[in-house]
Amino acid sequence: MKPWLGANWKMHKTVREAREYVARWNSLVEESPLGEEAEVVLFPPFTALAAVGEALVGASLGAQDVYPEDQGAFTGEISPLMLAELGVRYVLVGHSERRHILGEEDAFLRRKFDALVARGFVPVLCVGETAEERRAGRTEEVLLRQLEGVLGGREAFPGTFVVAYEPVWAIGTGTPATPEDAAQAVARIRTYLHGRFGAAADGVPVVYGGSVDPENVGGFVRPGVSDGALVGSKSLEADVFYRLVRNA
């Protein structure tokens, strides 16, 4: 499987800043193309999606969230139809910041996942335990609950998706999980996916996120550990993220 690398900008960058980033990214990619070596996805904030989508070369477009209805009285929300028109292919579901700051729960995330699949997007389902859950030895239980909450009870393989294992304690802290810990969690996720969907799920990329940088990315993105990385802080400068992709 070729490495999958996501740049989650979170709530960073105005449209002007996003344009500057993409101009720099494009020049790096034109100078030294990434070819088919990796699947790279940029996740700008909603306001910058159109500007990024129009100009971006050598990467796919992703959105950080979605509301699970096509249209209606949902003030402040963005629908799958709106994202489709902008050329968005991937959409994050259940990022820890949405679970823990915005209070999103599995039942709601499941609706998002289903709405995305129905509209032909590739959901990126984010799962991960908090520091407290980890200390209590509940990592596996939490991962299975989050996976089952969205994927459980399905008769058939829902179609292409990605799973991102992002331990909450490693996000934005500068302290990543060890590759061994990441490998263990990713393996558990893989076993779950295989148990639920059989061989169909073996092609689902399971990636790691949490304080990934250009120097440590090689430890996470390799056979036996994970299929890629979802990157926050170190994706905010085009040069740094490009270097990270190169090192993966």
Binding site for ligand G3P (CB under 6 A): 8, 95, 166, 171-172, 209-212, 230-234
DSSP string of 101-129? TS---HHHHHHHHHHHHHTT-EEEEEE--
Comparing C-alpha atoms, which of 46, 64, 50 is closest to residue 7?
64
Annotated active-site positions, please? 95, 166
The residue sitting closest to ligand G3P, measured at its beta carbon, is 232
User: Closer CB to ligand G3P, residue 46 or residue 197?
Assistant: 46
Question: Measured from the CB of residue 153, what is the shortest distance to ligand G3P in angstroms?
Answer: 27
- Within 10 A of 125 (CB to CB), how many other CB atoms are there? 26
d(CA 186, CA 206): 6
Question: Measured from the CB of residue 231, what is the shortest distance to ligand G3P in angstroms?
Answer: 5
User: Closer CB to ligand G3P, residue 148 or residue 213?
Assistant: 213
- Within 10 A of 89 (CB to CB), how many other CB atoms are there? 17
User: Closer CB to ligand G3P, residue 54 or residue 239?
Assistant: 239
Question: Measured from the CB of residue 51, what is the shortest distance to ligand G3P in angstroms?
Answer: 21
Question: Measured from the CB of residue 198, what is the shortest distance to ligand G3P in angstroms?
Answer: 29
User: Closer CB to ligand G3P, residue 53 or residue 210?
Assistant: 210
User: Closer CB to ligand G3P, residue 67 or residue 166?
Assistant: 166
Report which DSSP code applies to 137: T
List, in sequence order, every residue forming a beta bridge with 221; answer none if it has no partner.
Answer: 226
